């Protein structure tokens, strides 16, 4: 059985929240006869093989209760209610009967010393079973011989276990084979031989088939019940051990939102059963609903593919041996918008920074100025400590660290030169006056508080504003075009080029060179790029 295909469970067997159970619905007419229940329910644990084995018995018992209720209903009302039974598989029934006889024999020998003294089975019964194996008995004779066994196995009402059924004889012969083989083993054991094995080819083949199915299930079972929650937790555990890069809290939150949306749509949490059809259906559902942009739809699909990739690696590529089930899933086409839509205009940027001067909360006062003149992300600045503001030969730097709960998008730290506008604004003097520890002690939700402050105070009633992360970051990157080298620009803004150049800026000497590059970047709050003289003329004119 291919592990990347949905494996159909037997009827009435369900997988819910990592556990298997049997659920048999009860028709409304019969509920008054069954304590008002709407369904029969039996928990079967988390092992699929055991659940399958036990489900047959419980389903049969539940259906027997349904038949009793149906008979009582018929006596009271004169009306008939059908209780549909499923056909029995002759091969599986044969194995069940044989195994039950061997288990019963073993149990009796272990519990009652008188059991083995009863002698051999009735020769007349053995002779009739041999005739049954050959097919020499009539349907009536088969039924007389085997009806008690069919009742004991709870399959007497199965469509093909009734004497008038076209394939009744197939079931009867299978049961005859199982009973004759079982009696043969019991007789051998009475003589002290416990090595006997099934001999009839049909029973041997049925047992081999069952064992092959069990082997497949055992191979799949370790990850058959995996959910995305389990996959994410395992990925975080591995990352904590140094196996792969850890994901930031915000990234994991984004992953879990996409995970919830997909699981809610699919109504199934099992990762191993995800198919290409699931991906297509979810994609089309999101696009047709029209509530999400194409980019958001694409991003959500990408997240689920990432999580499936994690699951496949954690299962040593056994969960999806053929690779990504969604490799052939066509993604929505996303048109790239104008970069200006994600960037503050100079007018808005200046208003923002001037408004920040009036803020009393430290994070509102200084973080807008820092991200405006470093291109850093808000969540890279909120954890800054006083010790992270350092001086090297007259140049000030912000040490954006990685580790101890702090991270960056590239998972690499960097030391960013403090722009002269920040120094002139009094940022360094303010830092010197602060106690040791965090400069902005607002906790994990500080970036959210800043966003709320921007929407409510800085730009009230404005719905066209980009997030501060993008608004100032893109504006600062545009300012880097003023002669700043490409390597320095990548380092300052914390972007990855995918090459060894990403380590640029490691030594103090290189940091001083980067500081000189930062001197070329204009102060965006000034109306003009050049400094003005007291007379209003350009100082460099």
Contact criterion met (CB below 8 Å) for 418 and 427: yes
Q: Which has the minimum average pLDDT: 4-8, 331-335, 381-385?
A: 4-8
Residues 6+ apart with CB under 8 A from 385: 436, 437, 438, 439
Most confident listed range (53-62, 318-327, 329-338, 441-450)? 318-327
Give the model's pLDDT for residue 503. 54
Q: Which is higher by pLDDT, 470 or 182?
A: 182
Using DSSP, state whether 6 is helix, strand or coil. coil
Give the strands of the sheet with 395-400, arranged side by side: 389-392, 395-400, 414-417
Contact criterion met (CB below 8 Å) for 385 and 438: yes
Beta-ladder partners of 406: 403
Token pair recorded at residue 21 = 């159970």
Compute the average pLDDT of residues 441-450.
Answer: 78
Taking all residues of the chain, what is their mean pLDDT, rounded to a whole number? Answer: 83
Give the model's pLDDT for residue 506. 64
Q: Which is higher by pLDDT, 533 or 261?
A: 261
Give start and end residues of each alpha helix (H) in 339-387: 346-356, 362-372, 378-381
Please tell me the distance from the alpha carbon of residue 205 to that of residue 199, in angstroms, as a whole number. Answer: 10
Q: What phi-psi label fits residue 391: left (phi over 0), alpha (psi between -120 and 50 degrees) or beta?
A: beta
Give the model's pLDDT for residue 204. 94
Please tell me the distance from the alpha carbon of residue 148 to that of residue 132, in angstroms, as a whole number. Answer: 15
Which helix (H) or strand (E) segment is 39 a member of? strand 39-45
Whether the pLDDT of residue 161 is over 60: the answer is yes
Contact criterion met (CB below 8 Å) for 51 and 44: yes
Give pLDDT tens digits for 364-405. 999 999 988 888 888 888 889 999 999 999 999 999 888 776
Place of tokens 């196995």: 153
Give the model's pLDDT for residue 185. 93
Q: Which has the minimum average pLDDT: 33-42, 305-314, 380-389, 462-471?
A: 462-471
Contact criterion met (CB below 8 Å) for 393 and 512: yes
**CB-based burial of residue 351 (10 Å sphere; 0-12 exposed, 13-18 middle, 19+ buried)?**
middle
Most confident listed range (8-17, 47-56, 86-95, 439-448)? 86-95
Give the model's pLDDT for residue 537. 42
Give pLDDT tens digits for 231-258. 999 999 988 888 877 787 778 889 999 9
Q: 11: pLDDT confidence band, cut at 50, 70 and 90?
A: confident
Q: 498: pLDDT confidence band, cut at 50, 70 and 90?
A: low
Which helix (H) or strand (E) segment is 522 a member of? none
How far CA 373 is from CA of 479, 491, 494, in Å, comes to 9, 14, 13
β-pairing verdict for 389-392 and 395-400: antiparallel
Please tell me the distance from the alpha carbon of residue 13 to that of residue 150, in angstroms, as a whole number. Answer: 22
Q: Which is higher by pLDDT, 181 or 119?
A: 181
Q: What phi-psi label fits residue 435: left (phi over 0), alpha (psi between -120 and 50 degrees) or beta?
A: beta
Contact criterion met (CB below 8 Å) for 314 and 231: yes
Q: Where are the beta strands (DSSP E) in 346-445?
A: 389-392, 395-400, 414-417
Please tell me the distance from the alpha carbon of residue 247 to that of residue 407, in angstroms, as a whole number. Answer: 8
Compute the average pLDDT of residues 316-326.
Answer: 88
Give start and end residues of each alpha helix (H) in 112-200: 123-134, 139-152, 168-190
Give the model's pLDDT for residue 335. 75
């Amino acid at each position: 059985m291919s592990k990347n295909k949905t494996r159909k469970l037997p009827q009435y067997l369900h997988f819910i929240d990592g556990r298997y159970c049997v659920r048999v619905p009860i028709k409304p007419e019969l509920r008054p006869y069954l304590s008002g229940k709407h369904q029969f329910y039996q928990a079967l644990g988390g092992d699929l093989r055991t659940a399958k084995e036990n489900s047959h018995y419980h389903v049969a018992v539940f259906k027997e209760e349904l038949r009793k209720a149906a008979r009582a209903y018929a006596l009271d009302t004169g009306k008939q209610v059908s209780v549909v039974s499923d056909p029995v598989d002759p091969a599986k029934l044969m194995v069940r009967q044989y195994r039950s006889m061997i288990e019963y024999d073993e149990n009796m020998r272990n519990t009652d010393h008188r059991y083995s003294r009863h002698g051999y089975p009735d020769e007349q019964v053995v002779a009739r079973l041999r005739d049954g194996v050959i097919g020499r008995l009539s349907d009536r004779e088969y039924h007389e011989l085997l009806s008690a066994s069919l009742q004991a196995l709870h399959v007497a009402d199965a469509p093909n276990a009734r004497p008038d059924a076209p394939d009744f004889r197939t079931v009867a012969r299978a049961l005859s084979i199982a009973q004759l083989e079982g009696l043969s083993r019991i007789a051998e054991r009475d003589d002290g031989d416990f090595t006997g094995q099934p001999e009839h080819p049909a029973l041997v083949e049925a047992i081999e088939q069952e064992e092959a199915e069990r082997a497949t299930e055992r191979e799949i079972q370790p990850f058959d019940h995996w959910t995305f929650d389990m996959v994410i937790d395992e990925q975080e555990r591995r990352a904590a051990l140094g196996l792969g890069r850890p994901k930031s809290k915000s990234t994991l939150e984004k992953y879990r939102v996409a995970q919830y949306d997909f699981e809610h749509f699919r109504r199934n949490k099992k990762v191993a059963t995800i198919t290409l059809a699931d991906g297509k259906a979810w994609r089309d559902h999101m696009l047709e609903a029209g509530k999400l942009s194409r980019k958001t739809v694409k991003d959500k699909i990408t997240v689920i593919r990432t999580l499936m990739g994690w699951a496949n690696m954690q299962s040593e590529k056994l969960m999806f041996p053929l690779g990504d089930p969604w490799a052939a899933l066509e993604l929505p086409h996303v048109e790239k918008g104008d970069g200006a839509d994600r960037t503050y205009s100079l007018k808005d940027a200046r208003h923002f920074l001037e408004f920040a001067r009036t803020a009393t909360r430290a994070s509102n006062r200084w973080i807008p100025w820092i991200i405006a003149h470093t291109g850093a992300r808000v969540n890279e600045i909120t954890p800054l400590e006083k010790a992270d503001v350092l001086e090297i030969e007259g140049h000030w730097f912000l040490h954006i660290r990685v580790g101890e709960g702090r991270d960056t998008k590239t998972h690499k730290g960097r030391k960013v030169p403090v722009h002269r506008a920040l120094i002139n604004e009094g940022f360094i003097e303010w830092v010197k006056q602060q106690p040791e520890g965090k400069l902005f002690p607002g906790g994990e939700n500080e970036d959210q508080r800043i966003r709320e402050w921007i929407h409510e105070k800085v730009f009230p009633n404005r719905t066209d504003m980009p997030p501060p992360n993008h608004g100032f970051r893109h504006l600062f990157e545009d300012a880097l075009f003023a002669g700043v080298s490409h390597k320095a620009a990548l380092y300052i803004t914390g972007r990855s080029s995918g090459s060894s150049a990403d380590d640029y800026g490691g030594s103090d000497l290189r940091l001083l060179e980067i500081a000189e590059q930062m001197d070329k970047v204009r102060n965006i709050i000034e109306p003009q790029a050049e400094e003005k003289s007291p007379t209003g003329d350009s100082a460099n004119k």
